[in-house]
Amino acid sequence: MVIFEVLCLNLVSAVLYDTAKKITKSHPEALGIYLESIEQLSNKYPELEIDHIQNFLEDEGVKKAITDYLRNPDAEKFLSDLKNQFSIMFDDDFLSEDVESILIDLFQIIESKIEANPTLRNYLEISYLKKIDKAVVEIKKDNDWIAQAMGNEQIEDQYDFFKRVCKLQHKKEVEFISAKYIEELFVPRKKYDDDFQQFLKELNNNREYNKNLPVKNREIEEHNKIIRSQNQETMKKYPHISKKQLLDERKLIKETPYLKPIPIKNCFFVMGEAGIGKTNQLCYLSKKYEEIYPVLFLNGSRMLLTDKDIEQCVTDSFTKILSINSKNVLDSLEKTCSAKNITALFFIDAINECLNLDLMRVCLGNILSYNKDKNIAFIVSCRDIDWRFFETENEIKNCIFDVEKPNLSLLSDEEFKEAWARYKEYFKLDGDISEEIVSICRQPIMLRFFSEAYQGGKVPEQDIKRIEIFNNYWDKKLDGTGEKRAAQNFLFSIADAMVTQKKAELIETEVEEVTDQTTDEPQTTFSKVLSENIILYKEFDSRTKENKIGFTYEAFFEYVIARYFLKKYGTLNDEDLLTQFKQVVETISDFRNLMGATEYIILLLEDTEENGDSQKVYVRMIEILSEYQDKNLRQEAITVIRKLKSVGGIENSLQKLADDNNVEINKGVYDIFKQNYEFFDVTFQRNILCILATKGSNEFLQTPISFVLDYYNRLPSEIQSLIIYFSDCNFINTKRKMSQLLLSETRLPPNIYESAIINLIKEEDRIIRFNILESLSINIDLLDKQNLTFCLNKLIEDVKIDHVQLAKLIEDKQKIIPEKIIIDFIDWSLNHCDYRVKLPIIFLIKAFIENKIISLNEIYFNFIDRLVTDADEDVSQKAEELLFPLLS
């Protein structure tokens, strides 16, 4: 019993921490004990976090208890002392019987390892009881610590070691965002599961292909050498014939082209708005694959890149776990994985939350580019409105795996159904929700806020709006602190400090300064707000030696900023309030979270004002956003409009937003218009469709025109008249899209179709006239003789159109086409076209004669004579073969 406890204590205190850097190659098992202790204990006791174990074993009181025990081995006192110390450190978290159980389990893990390796027992006795550890070698910072601990030749052991440490690193990192990610609530997104599997499959296949490329190209080179030798012999036989002619005559053999490498896309990118579930998606994927691959996980908000790169952040995270000074962990991990032909997964969540986006952009581009051909796959998430800070970096864009829809979308019907069942049970919700609430809660963060706001009670039967969910969540959280007013002021104080300092985190002393609250006492407002998961501890600041504190949810942080703004300026008159709002907008480029705050300011104001008045201050705020040319501010205006209770009064803003050549802006405006179509008056409907169809992005112009065509018979005459306007406007791209949409069988009234075609064909544009030619092949019956003649004459005289196709149209529709048009077409073609048109003309005349569409007269004799005597031998022979027999 004595030796068991001596070994336990020494192993825990000395081997795991004090001298973890002094492990010899003979005893890497000591690190294994440390890893297994944390792994098994944290799994068995969910409330026991990695930090609990680390802090306990590093505590000076624990070390003193061990020292005292070595001098006077008293088992009962030893266990009692450590139990007391554990209780002192974590009094609020564990019951007395839990502490004893944890310590006993820890001893059992250690004893099982010692019994499996008797030399380790002797090593400990010699090293610690006899105090002779001279032979222990210091593993210095500049050494490869993995090779020292595991031995270069033990690849399997290295891989297992790495995988276990990665699992701990991953678990520790996710613990910081545990308030966000509750595993039993997460509903897998099948599309993203499938996309991710496809990403890994293609990445591995393409890397393998590129890896084998040199061998394949060497084989091709050897083959081409033989071909070159044969070709040289052939050219000697034909010295007066050019190489090109020999190739054309197939006397020379073409060399096989060399294979080119496939571009490597080593980054799976997850993008979406705040609260759409990006962090949860990454947590889910990392957890799902951690048993298959080594998994690393870092969060952008906890990455300080001022004096380091992302690789160093990985190394630092390993150093904290192992208490060993490490170097080049990612490189060592990659080499180990490469030796086993396995890919490591590196998750980087919320790159947009890094304090310095310029550094994050450069560092991310560097690490993706550098590791393209290495055994690491990157999974990165970013908020959609912040993607603009990264999209200019080619090193990032070139590495992103292409999927049909990279943005994380709202929950589907099936996904929401499953999610609602889980949330309803977890949060003890009573009742069912309306379709309106369902549509809001398809955004995962809204489902979470809604569930927490009504936790343990009945859900509302009537519809409620998005901002009401935020308001109810706010009230529920503040009520949970037991001091609502103090908690509100506390949150406003830190929000004000964050906005002033333009950063989303504060160190502990800054929080204490701005709130007059201490952060290390249990009954303060700070601790109560912390316990409600409104705020949380983030990264430890190595410079100030203090923890950083931030809001748990970025969206809720922005909501708090909005509430503070209205508390501070809400009593001002409208003009002064708008001035303050504009100042916030102007500052967005310096502090990104103000973008989301503008949204909540508007929604909070709408909640307190009557709808439908364009002079309401929240409506004017939307108009301010829509007047900017910045894409992100305009997109934010669209986002806000979508979330309003009513679109009353926002017509001016929509019209300003419609005048934009960005396709995403165009789609946003159009979606709002279509969803609220019947709400708007006819004048606005006409104006918005007109703007979208003439001023929008070229790839979008077709959409509003299609709307008018598809719903033509149900639209008021003011909207119907747009068809004629589109066909006769001064916007060439609009006309092109209009002509393209007339290619199929039209549902337009004949007179409208006819007018549109006449207007369009006046435009001397190859694309438009090509489309008209296609359209007439289907809808030619709708034109009267005069307009048909006008259109065909325009087509005949246009040298840019395909006269072969025109000949086919005339042949197919020969019964309704005036003979004068036929004569003019043949005459023009014989004068201006080559054999490619003249040959179809021969068949055309033959068909007309056989079908008795025309009567042979001097005009047609002349045509036949010109064809038979044509300079092109193929034309003359074919005319003589097909037309001469008909003359008899």
Judged against a pLDDT cut of 60, whether residue 131 lies above it is answered with no
Judged against a pLDDT cut of 80, whether residue 11 lies above it is answered with no
Beta-carbon contacts of residue 78 (< 8 Å; ≥ 6 apart): 5, 9, 65, 69
What pLDDT is attached to residue 66? 52
In DSSP notation, 804-817 reads HHHHHHHHHTTTTS
Instruction: Give the C-alpha distances (Å, rounded to integers) separating 422 from 9, 24, 418, 427.
Output: 44, 50, 6, 9
Judged against a pLDDT cut of 90, whether residue 558 lies above it is answered with yes
What pLDDT is attached to residue 36? 61
Average confidence (pLDDT) over 709-714: 92
What pLDDT is attached to residue 614? 58
Residue 382 bridge partners (DSSP) = 271
Judged against a pLDDT cut of 90, whether residue 703 lies above it is answered with yes
Nearest to 331 by CA among 347, 309, 315, 308: 315
Average confidence (pLDDT) over 476-501: 93
What pLDDT is attached to residue 535? 87
Q: Could you tell me the residue ranges of all domains in the chain?
A: 2-138, 207-246, 466-552, 556-643, 659-801, 815-888
What would the pLDDT profile of 241-268 be if each residue is shown by its tens digit?
Answer: 888 888 877 888 888 999 999 999 999 9
Nearest to 809 by CA among 828, 788, 835: 788
Average confidence (pLDDT) over 82-95: 65
Q: What SS3 state is found at 237? A: helix
Average confidence (pLDDT) over 451-460: 93
Q: Are 165 and 243 in contact (CB under 8 A)?
A: no
Judged against a pLDDT cut of 60, whether residue 25 lies above it is answered with no
Of 25-29, 118-122, 436-440, the range with the lowest mean pLDDT is 25-29
What pLDDT is attached to residue 34? 53
What would the pLDDT profile of 822-833 be if each residue is shown by its tens digit?
Answer: 888 888 888 887
What would the pLDDT profile of 562-587 be if each residue is shown by its tens digit?
Answer: 999 999 998 999 999 999 999 999 99
Q: In the structure, what pLDDT confidence band is assigned to residue 71 with cuts at 50, 70 and 90? A: very low
Pairwise CA distance, residues 804 & 160, whole Å: 70
Return the higher-pLDDT residue of 521 and 785.
785
Q: Are 801 and 770 in contact (CB under 8 A)?
A: yes
Structure tokens at 831: 């004068």
47-76 in b/e burial notation, b at 16+ Cβ within 10 A? Answer: ebbbebbbebbebeebbebbeebbeeeeee
Can you give the pTM of this predicted structure?
0.72
What pLDDT is attached to residue 817? 84
What pLDDT is attached to residue 4? 37
Return the higher-pLDDT residue of 531 and 587.
587
Structure tokens at 777: 């092949």
Pairwise CA distance, residues 562 & 553, whole Å: 14
What would the pLDDT profile of 608-618 be if each residue is shown by its tens digit?
Answer: 876 555 578 99
Neighbours of 134 (CB within 10 A): 6
What pLDDT is attached to residue 40? 66
Helical spans, DSSP H, in 323-443: 329-340, 357-370, 394-397, 413-426, 435-441
Identify the residue whose tokens are 């001064």: 730
What pLDDT is attached to residue 389? 87
Instruction: Give the C-alpha distances (Å, rounded to integers) separating 378 from 164, 359, 827.
Output: 19, 18, 66
Average confidence (pLDDT) over 625-653: 93
Average confidence (pLDDT) over 499-506: 91
Q: In the structure, what pLDDT confidence band is assigned to residue 420 with cuts at 50, 70 and 90? A: very high
Beta-carbon contacts of residue 339 (< 8 Å; ≥ 6 apart): 155, 159
Average confidence (pLDDT) over 478-487: 92
Structure tokens at 662: 């960005």
Average confidence (pLDDT) over 156-181: 80
Pairwise CA distance, residues 150 & 439, whole Å: 54
What would the pLDDT profile of 307-346 be if each residue is shown by its tens digit?
Answer: 788 999 888 888 877 766 667 889 888 998 998 999 999 9
What pLDDT is attached to residue 151? 45
Starting at the edge strand found earlier in the chain, the sheet holding 535-541 runs 505-507, 546-551, 535-541
Q: In the structure, what pLDDT confidence band is assigned to residue 655 with cuts at 50, 70 and 90? A: very high
Specify the pairing of strand 344-349 against strand 376-383.
parallel
Maximal CA-CA distance, the chain: 132
* Residues of the chain above pLDDT 70, percent: 80
Query: What's the whole-number average pLDDT of the chain?
Result: 82
Beta-carbon contacts of residue 601 (< 8 Å; ≥ 6 apart): 562, 565, 566, 581, 584, 621
What pLDDT is attached to residue 753? 93
Beta-carbon contacts of residue 611 (< 8 Å; ≥ 6 apart): 645, 646, 648, 649
Instruction: Give the C-alpha distances (Å, rounded to integers) separating 116 from 29, 111, 119, 120.
Output: 10, 9, 9, 9
Judged against a pLDDT cut of 60, whether residue 68 lies above it is answered with no
Average confidence (pLDDT) over 670-685: 94
Q: Are 189 and 196 in contact (CB under 8 A)?
A: no
Q: How many CA atoms lie within 13 A of 383 on its CB side?
A: 21
First to last CA, the chain: 125
* Residues of the chain above pLDDT 90, percent: 44
Return left, alpha or beta for 104; rule: phi > 0 is left, psi -120 to 50 is alpha, else beta. alpha
What would the pLDDT profile of 840-862 be if each residue is shown by its tens digit?
Answer: 888 888 888 877 766 777 888 88
Return the higher-pLDDT residue of 27 and 167.
167
In DSSP notation, 188-234 reads --HHHHHHHHHHHHHHHHHHHHHHHHHHHHHHHHHHHHHHHHHHHHH
Average confidence (pLDDT) over 629-648: 92
Average confidence (pLDDT) over 148-160: 58
Identify the residue whose tokens are 């934009």: 660
Q: What SS3 state is found at 452? A: helix
Residue 40 parent element (H or E): helix 29-44
Q: In the structure, what pLDDT confidence band is assigned to residue 65 with cuts at 50, 70 and 90? A: low
Judged against a pLDDT cut of 70, whether residue 107 lies above it is answered with no
Of 25-29, 399-403, 411-415, 513-517, the range with the lowest mean pLDDT is 25-29
